Structure 1
């Protein structure tokens, strides 16, 4: 998937073929920013998606960001 990009931009992309098995900490993979101006409705607070816990996934590549260092490109399922 990222092989050509990795060959063309070795300092920006580190691709894995095949993908590498990893554990994904959901709370770190997606950090939610609470909105203080408008809280979530009760239905979302009671039955909305909870990104908590650790799940298995596959690491496809590391990509260099202009702002925050390296970003993982991974696939995983949210239970």
Structure 2
């Protein structure tokens, strides 16, 4: 009788192990499908990548600094011209 009970428990344990493996497979498949759908959605939204955004941001900061420097030069030149008159 104990052999029969052990066999039932062994079969039940094997069934549970197989079910857990199947659940992990389904989980991986669902994650893959979700990632593909999310990637397709983001690509259709025409979003910029972080690296591209940072590069353009750095260019804008540099342009602003150069603009400020040129404005200071113009003010200095105008002051010199006003002093000569």
The alignment's TM-score, normalised by the length of structure 2, stands at 0.17
Bigger-Rg structure (1/2): 2
The alignment's TM-score, normalised by the length of structure 1, stands at 0.17
Greater fraction of residues in helix: 2
Higher relative contact order (CA 8 A, sep 6+): 1
